[in-house]
A and B are shown apart, each in its own frame.
Chain A
């Protein structure tokens, strides 16, 4: 709640300018101007993307990059969604978008659930070597993607899931486990151990305690884990391009192919529309769950 409560406090201060010197007010205005400039700087590319995607090719060629479209047309969006060519096929991003959904949704759920279980075991059932295992999992967070490409390709080949969506899912689950374990472990570490003791005396076992007591407590950190994992998996390009083949490519790879496979004219409006389509789901997840994200990252303690 810190993000919410901070704003009224600041507002209350700035509403009492009587006792303030001119310098302080000027400083405050300067602050707003600088912040505004930064906001414009960050929003400009989005603005260009949206306006360009709504212009016709004709207008893009003749008009100004920053000007608003003279007449709105959604043709580029339609083309990007279902007609644009990725290499030799011309089906738009639609099939690849669904590939990404089929990939990201289960991968996010599996890695979050496994991370929660790992965190629960490491934080609350301190077995011998728990800290070493946690340190090793944490180490996994810092291994660069490129390093694991070749060994991972070999493993996927041995498992017989190379080039499939489950194969890509497997890669993302393994890679995300370090992060999700870290999230849940740090969240559960602040929960008093007496809670587990009480449940043990009540007769509950390992699995029951997890599902009946810990999981219901974890909504904020589940949201954090879901946003993090979804953003990672949806936006990933390297694993997608390395471990998929023609029919199983995720939307990021398709976007790259659309932009790169031009026939004659460069269709900027279609490229922009495709890029926005590819970026929309992560944006949506953040808008829907964003306030829980901040809350989950800052809140740790649960009063028993």
Chain B
């Protein structure tokens, strides 16, 4: 079966500025693709290109096997949810939802039954006769989703649909979108700058920066094996610790030495690593640096560190120390005895370590 969405060598220029460079992505039916990156990375432009709202400068775009590169939005069999919801202000909720069907000349009976079905699904029946201006942000969000759902398209497009909601509602709607995706088995493309949204929703993530794809992969791949320093730093909260270190090949593997002020350098041994360059950047997630005794194995190594800041976050406590001239965050359990100014033993779990080349920023293990 052809992929539901296939983008080959896509380029997009605004005048002389290249906004998107050589984009290659393809997803299968039922995939949830999330485009994530900082603002200005081109993710929304890419979504607009998929929708046909922006012309493509070069390359091809196929939806369900059909070439859609130069096809107008209405003939692409897509539906889109916008950040500002873009509800038609003078129409009632019901008319907003059925507008697309009305334009396409769907008969009134079908319109009515589809509207009822979607309204029930999204629990917006009570306000079908209201205007968008009389609804709360969350309700508008639902109507915008309803407008997309009622079309039953091949591809759903979401342009940062949750970023105008407050934190609590955002988490609720996130779960709801995920439920909807599982229930419908629909194919979706979703743009966000929020890496947690990306991780929780996606079956496939595209991380972008400066109009270039940095990495494509499942959430686990992106999280555990980031392709470069940018992805490592961007995905995950608190961010991955990226510490400059020196290496030395020894009999028991590679010896890694991390400088720190006022103290002995920390020395760790990674028996699996081979042929690392002399200077590297070592990447460890906060949860891979914990209190001694919680994780065991040859790859867990302890070192005393001076605690600078302690941040209790409820379930966990984040502790900051300084290594290799950079702050390092460790995630300890909430009953830790670590206090600012004291020296505390931290356990470094190297089983999930990432090594990066300092110049290019590329992953090397």
Contacts and interface: CB of A to CB of B under 8 A. Distances in A.
Asked if A and B are interacting partners, one says yes
Interface of A: 192, 194-195, 197-205, 208, 212-213, 216-217, 302-304
Contact of B86 (A197, A203, A212, A217): A197
B74 A201 contact: yes
B76 to A, nearest CB: 8
A175 to B, nearest CB: 31
B103 interface: yes
Contacts, number: 67
Most buried by A among B51, B82, B147: B82
Contact of B80 (A192, A195, A198, A216): A198
Interface string B266-303: 00000000000000000000000000000000000000
Nearest to B95: A212
A202 B48 CA distance: 14
Name the interface size band of chain B: 20 to 34
Given A202-B99, A203-B103, A303-B133, A197 B90 contact: no
B55 interface: no
Contacts of A302: 89
A201 B73 contact: yes
A199 B99 CA distance: 9
A216 B90 CA distance: 6
A197 B48 CA distance: 9
A194 B87 CA distance: 9
Given A197-B53, A304-B132, A202 B103 contact: yes
Contact of A198 (B72, B82, B104, B133): B82
B53 A304 contact: no
13 contacts: A195-B88, A197-B53, A198-B80, A198-B88, A198-B147, A202-B99, A212-B88, A213-B88, A216-B90, A216-B91, A302-B89, A304-B84, A304-B86
Interface string B111-140: 000000000000000000000110000000
A78 B88 CA distance: 52
A187 to B, nearest CB: 13
Interface of B: 48, 51, 53, 72-74, 78-80, 82-91, 99-100, 103-104, 132-133, 147, 151
A228 to B, nearest CB: 23
A303 B103 contact: no
Contacts of B53: 197, 200-201
Contact of A304 (B74, B87, B100, B104): B87
A303 B132 CA distance: 9
Contact of B100 (A192, A195, A202, A213): A202
A194 B48 CA distance: 11
A201 B81 CA distance: 10
List 8 tightest A-B contacts by C-beta distance, closest first. Answer: A202-B100, A203-B74, A198-B86, A216-B90, A194-B86, A203-B103, A194-B82, A201-B80
A285 B84 CA distance: 37
Contacts of B103: 202-204, 208
B327 to A, nearest CB: 40
Contacts of A303: 89, 133
B73 A194 contact: no
B78 A212 contact: no
A192 B99 contact: no
B85 A304 contact: yes
Given A202-B99, A304-B132, A217 B90 contact: yes
Given A212-B99, A302-B89, 5 more contacts: A194-B82, A195-B86, A201-B78, A212-B88, A216-B90
Contact of A213 (B48, B84, B90): B90
A213 B147 CA distance: 15
Nearest to A202: B100
B118 to A, nearest CB: 14
B73 A200 contact: yes
Contact of B84 (A192, A200, A212, A216): A192
Contact of B82 (A197, A203, A213): A197
